[in-house]
Chain A
């Protein structure tokens, strides 16, 4: 992809992010941080590419380490978000 297409996606995504995040209820700001943290670990894509290419050993090991770190975040982030969200309950009808 050329730079301008990528930049267009980026700028539009910033606007989407702006409106989506303002619509998040303040009560869920902590889960919001946990889940954004999990999804920003999509950086694992780069680590996977590095680890899959065997021709430069240094890059491969950096990639593998990157995979471990990002996986901790992905699994930990989604799991802890799920745990938090499960606690938000409505009032029980008596």
Chain B
């Protein structure tokens, strides 16, 4: 459409022609985002087995490509020549057809390239043992990106098609406020989780006095601010959204500092869930199907993982989030500090008995990850298998610092995944096992979880290692207790041999003794 523009001064103030293009009016565009969302569903579906997982990951990439390309095409940076004409203050003809703005497009592509280089470099270099902190760091980026997008939408509602008359609609403002708040919580929470997981900050809980009151108060304030923000007139919203953002950053920080290191699987899953809800809230703001589907998928994924972790510790989600677990354990451990006799063995003893065994079940824990013992462990298992010993791995859902942490490390060491079993699938086999080989795990084999009602881990499902004929327990020293801070009767059983050393060194010595 060509129109004659009378370039009066007020024309400069007129809304640019492309400003209202935020809504996906074109049905093909909406369809493309839907297809992208379906690909994301397929990506997660692929993870139902290792065999289909790689295809799944590729589906995820295709979905993302579709979403990004669709957005770039429909929101190609450009300006109508009417804007230029109006700005120049002259008379003349102009066209509503947008002239591509290649400079802006280049900036966007450069931004993507910078992110790509950083992302791929990190992904290539990261050690598998550092996966929990990497995931936490990535969550923080999603959170921060959500905050930035929320703020951008607030500052330029026209571009996002959010204007009702000349101000942002109330529903859009609620969605925007929620998106910013959840994003900010995800960001600051993940930064703390990252610091704790990577050892930059002590893993022990930091307990502020009256923290529950402070947290609930802050949460309530965020909700009130969101409501006020939605109802406020166009000129009054700025201080409200600033306060909202600041408080949300603060609550994310406050929520995570009282939570201890070994509860991090739950925290990381929970933040995973939040990053999804933040994307979903932004999807509501933009009316974008791909974002809503993804947000819902990721949100439920994180929530389910949190639930699985909590169930595996027999603790309620609330008690994990309330934090402080493991902080007061010193008191309980004190009375049980009487010296009890235990048997200590050497690598040669262990090697000798492993060779005689018919069936060995290995139980890895966080200590194996810390010592990076997975490769040596596999070498040991290989030698044993060559000698005709059946070797299986048993993994507790909360072993390590994130869901599936041990599985990844064993996979890295090229342990075939058919040899790796979950708690429920293998627990009945300990009665037939000659050796239960515990490396870096502690609480997950503690029988107190079954018998001692006063124990903090009571009710947690544990491996029945006491049923195995022999138990080898690799542990750095007798002094340290598990995360829950409780003594472990397994140390003192008749059939237990304590192998006190660094996990990697001990396994390497066993390998040498086996040769």
| B475 lies within 8 A of chain A by Cβ | no
B interface secondary structure, majority? helix
A51 and B60 contact, CB distance less than 8 A:
no
A52 and B108 contact, CB distance less than 8 A:
yes
CA distance in complex: A86, B132 (Å): 18
A interface secondary structure, majority? helix
Instruction: Find A49's partner among B145, B286, B299 (CB 8 Å cutoff).
Output: B286
**Chain B, Cβ-Cβ closest to A74:** B64
A25 and B123 contact, CB distance less than 8 A:
no
Nearest CB of chain A from residue B31's CB, rounded to whole Å? 13
A85 and B50 contact, CB distance less than 8 A:
yes
| B457 lies within 8 A of chain A by Cβ | no
CA distance in complex: A42, B285 (Å): 14
Instruction: Encode B227-247 as 1/0 by CB contact (under 8 A) with A.
Output: 000000000000000000000
Chain A: interface residue total (CB-CB under 8 A): 82
Instruction: Find B404's partner among A3, A23, A32 (CB 8 Å cutoff).
Output: A32
**Chain B, Cβ-Cβ closest to A10:** B292
Using Cβ atoms and an 8 Å threshold, which residues of chain A touch B408? 30-31, 84, 87
CB contacts under 8 Å to A, within B26-72, are 30, 36-37, 40-41, 43-45, 47-51, 53-54, 56-57, 60-61, 63-64, 67-68, 71-72
B114 and A71 contact, CB distance less than 8 A:
yes
A71 and B111 contact, CB distance less than 8 A:
yes
Using Cβ atoms and an 8 Å threshold, which residues of chain B touch A6? 283-284, 287, 292
CA distance in complex: A92, B385 (Å): 13
Instruction: Encode B291-334 as 1/0 by CB contact (under 8 A) with A.
Output: 11111111111101100100000000000000000000000000
Of the stretches B75-83, B341-349, B501-509, the one at the interface is B75-83
CA distance in complex: A66, B412 (Å): 33
Interface centre among B50, B115, B302 (most CB of A within 10 A): B115
Of the stretches B193-201, B414-422, B479-487, the one at the interface is B414-422
B159 and A53 contact, CB distance less than 8 A:
yes
B64 and A48 contact, CB distance less than 8 A:
no
CB contacts under 8 Å to B, within A55-94, are 55-56, 58-60, 62-92
Additional 15 contacts, C-beta under 8 A, given A51-B111, A55-B156, A69-B141:
A10-B284, A28-B404, A29-B404, A30-B402, A30-B404, A33-B403, A33-B404, A34-B135, A36-B272, A49-B22, A50-B153, A53-B156, A62-B155, A65-B148, A82-B54
Identify 29 residue pairs between A and B in the complex whose beta-carbon atoms are under 8 Å apart, listed by A's number.
Answer: A3-B171, A6-B292, A11-B296, A13-B37, A16-B41, A17-B301, A20-B41, A20-B44, A23-B45, A29-B305, A30-B403, A30-B407, A32-B301, A33-B302, A35-B56, A36-B298, A39-B298, A41-B142, A41-B279, A42-B40, A46-B285, A46-B286, A48-B68, A50-B160, A52-B77, A53-B158, A62-B155, A68-B118, A88-B53
